[in-house]
Structure formats: structure tokens, C-alpha cells
Chain A
Amino acid sequence: MAMSKRKRAQVIRWVQYGILVLAVLALVVFADWGKLRHNFFNLEVAGSMFPDVITVALVNTVIYTAMGFGFGLVLAVVLALMRLSQVRAYRWISGFYIEFFRGLPALLVILAVGTGVPIAFGVLIDKYTAIMIALGLVGGAYMAETLRAGIQAVPRGQVEAARSLGMSPGRTTVTIVIPQAFKIILPPLTNELILLTKDSSLALFLGASIAEYELTQFGRVALNSSQSLTPVLIAGFCYLIITIPLSYLSRYLERRTGGAKISTPESTEVKA
């Protein structure tokens, strides 16, 4: 007997639900809950991590990320403007920089900066500076490409209007183009901030005093001393405290900037 198309779609959907439920059940049944609880949900170990996991580790993660993001943003503005410059050499340098740092693992850059800069310049840099430079170098390369796209998305007429009012090319870029470009790229920029938050974990490879621990290093040290995986869970949870609100912010900004174009008074006033 032939099934109708709608009937068949219904059956297929129920089969999918069934497989999903079976998979979850299998995980629940076969997992060793006793060991899991002992390893991941050890309240004693968890308790010993507070309040330092927040007051030191989470705060340091935020500081490292913010510093790297700030430096990267400045770098990105310079790189994006160079990429769009009339001067061929600037375009070439910027293009090479972007390809170079986008192609390298952030870990290598962090190690190179942390150990290379002191050797190259004979100066000792503290861990905060090293991380800021390394994360900025990598983040800047990504953000430069985003910003370049944002600048190119600003309508040509905006530049023409500014120039016809007597603004110089530089002033037009600073007062008219860049602010609008940032408005356009705010959602992808928030995304970049989330990626940098996670990349800040690579700081652990530079070694540090306890006061300089960020979340991953803090969790790792606690893991070694407690013989329990609970610190991993706690550290992960702390990352989510930072990144999930950022995702929501990104989505909110996307809605707002995307919606602004459609909701002109004319289109909202017209109702049947």
C-alpha cells in the first residue's frame, strides 16, 4: 500500500526522534555515573577553587582578552586602511601580514612573542604585555579583513557627500566611513571577541605566577593537585559565563542593525 507524501514525512520524523532518544538513553545507561560524579562533580574540590577561580582566573581571562582585543582593533584599523590604500606597497604589506598571521596557530605566536621578544630586544616583558601583543597580532589580522569588508560596505555616496562638503579624504574616513563601518561589523566583531576569549587560554604556555593564572591554567593546576576533573568543569563553566552573554549580544546587535534598514517610517506606517 502506497503511503502519502505527508504520511511518509511524518513517519521519517518519528524515526529520527526515536534514534535520538535511544542515543541519549544509551549514553545515560552505559556511563559510569559513580565515577563521573567523583571525577567531575566533586564538591569538595569545587569548593576549594572558590573564590580564586573568579577573582583571579576569570578576571585575568577577561583582562588578557580585553587587552588583546584592544590592541588587535587598533592594528586592524591600520591594516584595513593600508589594505584599501592607493599605495601599492601598503596594500602589499597589509596583505602579507594578514595572510601570515591568519595562517599561524595562535599558540606559536604566543610562544614566539613570549620568548622571542626578550631575546630580540633584550627587554623582559611581563606576561600581560606578551599576551596582549600576541593575541593582538593574531586577532588584528582577522579583524582587519572584517573591517575592510565593513569599510567597503559603506555606500560610495556617503564619501561623495562628505567630500562635496569640503572634507579631506582623511577626515571623511575618520568621521564618516569608519563609524559606519563599525556599525556594520559589530556582530562579526563580537564573534571575534568570543574567539579571542578562548584563545587567551594559550597564555598557560608562557608560565606565570599564581596571580597571573587565567581560567585554563588555573583549572589545569587544580586538576593536577586534586586528581579530579572537577576543575575542568568549573573552568569551562566560567568561560561560558563570559562567552554566552557575548553571543547573545552579537545576535541582538545583528537583529538591530539588520532591522534598522527595513523599519523606515513609511514601511511601518502603511497598514491595510
Chain B
Amino acid sequence: MSGEDLNTDTAADLAVEVTGLHKSFGPVEVLRGIDLEVNRGEVVCVIGPSGSGKSTLLRCVNVLEEPTSGTVVVDGVELTDPDVDIDAARTKIGMVFQSFNLFAHLNVLNNLTIAQRKVLKRTQAQAEATGLANLERVGLAGRERAMPSELSGGQQQRVAIARALSMDPDVMLFDEPTSALDPELVGDVLTVMRRLADEGMTMLVVTHEMQFAREVADKVLFMDAGVVVEQGPPEQVIGDPREERTRTFLRRVLNPTHVDQTD
């Protein structure tokens, strides 16, 4: 399935392993049997038309959505096991949302420290040191006293990334992190994500940024109608797709003004 150079990894190197994942909302089956593997240190991008189930897949990986069937294993812990301590498992999985979701009643520093203190039981000093270091990492040193409403969308999203990083996660999930941003603010967020990838962070990214996927991803999944249609290295999936559905999607995304005759 995946490129030859990726097959050599052993099971111990798997950060995320999704097997036979199904998810239905009432009568609507959004995910229809998904298999996904993310190796440690790997960046996997999920692309596909809206409504294809990309975001639902990502939200199943940290069980914000309860899968209807199938298994999700992160860091060797099966999250779909009903007896698992899901709160403990989630501290190892950072999540970045399309709509940032910074805690609106807390300033930037408290956004960064609250989960460290309440969940990881770090001291105020420890939490602040970690939070400030990560704030610098996303290029926002000095903004720790600002309220979220005082920041631009791009700044809010970078704080959200710093908040997730402050928990020292093993895996980072990104759910269309730049889709809600004004075009001129997208670059800053992508730069931060690119740097994270270079530092070896394991990342699963749902995105519409084809340029980013092509340059940063080790593996790209194309999803449509609840199934993985095609996956492999970006130069293959984006550069030379085998499936007609992938080609149709990429034509629309890369050339938005083109009107498809089959519409």
C-alpha cells in the first residue's frame, strides 16, 4: 500500500494504528472501514473533498468521536478499549482545531498552563516555564498576557499549537488548522507546523494546503466518501495520482476556476 521505503518499519515504531474503523451518525455512515498507520516521527497528511470523513477520522483518533466499530491504537494503548483511561491517553495526543478553541476566559499564559497544572499536576513554575518556552517556539514570545480575543486568527492558532505542545505529546493531530484563517495569516501557522515536522514530531494533518502536503508529508492519504481511495508518498498521490477520483479532486483544488464538465 505505502511506498516501499516505509514498509521496513516494525510495529514498535507505530505511533498511530487505525484498523477497520467505521463511524456512523444515525443512519449516515461517515467512515466505512479505514485503515491507517502513522510511524513515529512521520508526517501524514489527509486530503479529500469536504464531507469525505477526514475530520471525523481525526476526531476518532483521540476518541472525541466514539468509533462505531474498529480499533484505534495510539502509542500501544488501545483507545477503543472501554476500560482505557481516555483522559490519561489524551494527554499524549495533542489536538489543534480549525476554530482554535482557545479558552476565551483565560489569557494566553493560563491557556498554556491550565491543563499542565490540573491534569499533569505540574507546579505553577514548571507549567509557566514549559508554556513560555512553547510560546517562543511558535514565535509569540511576549504575548503571554494577551487575551485570545486580542489576537489575530493566526496568532490564536499558534497559541493553540503551543498549548498542545506544552503537554509534551507524542503525536499531534491537526484538523484543518488553516481553513479558518485569512489568506495572509496562513503562512505563519504553516511555518510553525513545518518546523515541528523538521524537529521530528509525529503529525497527522487534515488539510487543504496541497503545497504543504507535497513538501512536508511523508505520506498522503486521499479520502472520499468515507474510504481511503489512495495513499502513498506525496509525489505519487499528489504528483501522479493513480485513481480517477484523486485526479478529479486535485484538478478542482489546484485549479479552482476550472469548471468540470461532469458537474
**Residues of A at under 8 Å CB distance from B?**
155, 157-158, 160-168, 171, 175-176, 179-180, 183, 260-261, 263-266
- Chain A's closest residue to B147 (CB) is A260
CA distance A168 to B150 in the complex (A): 28
Q: Cβ of B102: which chain A residues have Cβ within 8 Å of it? A: 161
B62 and A164 form a contact (CB under 8 A): yes
Contacts known (A158-B104, A180-B104); A165 close to B152, Cβ less than 8 A: no
- Say which residue of A160, A166, A265 sits within 8 Å of B97 (CB atoms): A160
Closest to B146 in A: A265
A168-B88 Cα distance, complex, nearest whole Å: 9
Q: A161-B103, A165-B119, A167-B115 are in contact. Are A265 and B152 (CB under 8 A)?
A: yes
Q: Lowest 10 CB-CB distances: which A-B pairs, in order?
A: A165-B115, A166-B91, A161-B101, A164-B95, A157-B101, A166-B119, A166-B90, A166-B87, A180-B105, A179-B105
Task: Name the distance in Å between B27's Cβ and chain A's nearest Cβ.
Answer: 22
Name the distance in Å between A259's Cβ and chain B's nearest Cβ. 11
What residues of B have a CB within 8 angstroms of the CB of A260 in the complex?
Answer: 149
Chain B 123-158 near chain A by CB (<8 Å), digits 1 or 0: 000000000000000000000000001111000000
Are A167 and B64 touching (Cβ within 8 A)? no
Task: Point out the residue from B95, B97, B105, B120 that lies within 8 Å of A183, measured CB to CB.
Answer: B105
B119, closest chain A residue (CB): A166
- Indicate if the CB atoms of A264 and B64 lie closer than 8 Å: no
Which residues of the partner chain B approach A155 to less than 8 Å between Cβ atoms?
101
Q: How far is the CA of A175 from the CA of B95 in the complex (A)?
A: 19
Nearest opposing residue in chain A for B98, CB measure: A157
* 14 A-B pairs with C-beta separation under 8 A: A158-B103, A160-B95, A160-B101, A161-B101, A161-B160, A163-B90, A164-B62, A165-B90, A166-B167, A167-B118, A171-B119, A179-B105, A180-B105, A263-B149
The residues of B with any CB-CB pair to A shorter than 8 Å are 62, 64, 87-88, 90-91, 93-95, 97, 99, 101-105, 114-115, 118-120, 149-152, 160, 163-164, 167
Name the residue on B nearest A157 (C-beta): B101
With beta carbons under 8 angstroms apart, the residue of A164, A179, A180, A265 that contacts B90 is A164
A-B contact count (CB 8 A): 67
The chain B residue with its CB closest to the CB of A166 is: B91
Q: Which residue of B lies closest to A269 (CB)?
A: B152
- Chain A residues with CB under 8 A of B105: 179-180, 183
Residues of A within 8 A of B88 (CB): 166
Interfacial chain B residues near A175, Cβ < 8 Å:
114, 118
A46 to chain B, nearest CB (A): 47
Checking B87, B104, B164 against A167 with a beta-carbon cut-off of 8 angstroms, the contacting residue is B87
Complex Cα–Cα for A179 and B105 (A): 7
Which B residues are in CB contact (< 8 Å) with A161? 95, 97, 101-103, 160
- For B119, the chain A residues whose CB sits under 8 A away are 165-167, 171
Our pick among A176, A261, A265 for the contact of B103 (Cβ within 8 Å) is A176
* Minimal beta-carbon separation of B223 from chain A (angstroms): 21
Cα–Cα distance between A115 and B105 once the two chains are bound (Å): 44
Most chain B beta carbons < 10 A, residue from A161, A166, A171, A260: A166
Query: How far, in angstroms, from A166 to B121 measured CA to CA in the complex?
Result: 12
| In contact, A162 and B103 (Cβ under 8 angstroms) | yes
User: From residue A180, how far is it (CB to closest CB) to chain B in Å?
Assistant: 5
